[in-house]
């Protein structure tokens, strides 16, 4: 934990996708101090016509959703939003003003960990 889901419109090269995944993982590790072994990053590519931005189809888009166990400080969350926004813009070429980041805190009892045990039961 944390889990990062990236949704991006079509058009990124294989190298850009690789960089986006790696640099997003690095941004999470550095900004909130999450252990690398606990970070998972998934990329979902949206086909043309599957993203609407301000009423416009087929505009470039990039969104991050970060799911993690509750307990991060506001400073950590602010740093994470900034780091992912910057990473997304630098890798994709999409203006940072168009990159979105959403953070989702899960109660410890609502997050399953290795072995099918909740984070709360594991003492996290």
> Quick check: 41 and 21 in contact, CB under 8 A?
yes
Please determine, for residue 103, whether its predicted confidence score (pLDDT) is greater than 90: yes
Three-state SS for the chain is CCEEEEEEECCCCHHHHHHHHHHHHHHHHHHHCCCHHHCEEEEEEECCCCCEECCEECCCCEEEEEEEECCCCHHHHHHHHHHHHHHHHHHHCCCHHHEEEEEEEECHHHCECHHHCECCCCCC
pLDDT tens digits, residue range 10-63? 999 999 999 999 999 999 999 999 999 999 999 999 998 899 888 988 889 999
Calculate what percentage of the chain has a pLDDT beyond 90. 71
Question: According to the model, what pLDDT value does residue 28 have?
Answer: 96
Q: How far apart are CA 73 and CA 75, in angstroms?
A: 5
The model's pTM is: 0.89
| Structural domains of the chain ordered from first start | 21-110 (3.30.429.10)
Which tops the pLDDT comparison, 52 or 122? 52
Please determine, for residue 124, whether its predicted confidence score (pLDDT) is greater than 80: no
Please determine, for residue 123, whether its predicted confidence score (pLDDT) is greater than 80: no
What is the token pair recorded at 52? Answer: 């609407």
pLDDT bin (cut points 50, 70, 90) of residue 110 is confident
């Amino acid at each position: 934990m944390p889990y990062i889901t990236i949704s991006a419109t079509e058009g990124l090269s294989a190298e850009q996708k690789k960089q986006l995944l790696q640099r997003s993982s690095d941004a999470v590790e550095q900004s909130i101090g999450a252990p690398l072994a606990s970070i998972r990053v998934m990329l979902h590519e949206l086909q043309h016509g599957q993203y609407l931005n301000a009423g416009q189809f087929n505009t470039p888009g990039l969104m991050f959703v970060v799911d993690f166990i509750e307990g991060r400080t506001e400073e950590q969350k602010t740093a994470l939003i900034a780091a992912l926004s910057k990473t997304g813009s630098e890798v994709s070429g999409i203006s940072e003003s168009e990159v979105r980041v959403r953070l989702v805190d899960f109660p410890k009892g609502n997050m399953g960990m290795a072995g099918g045990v909740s984070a709360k039961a594991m003492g996290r």
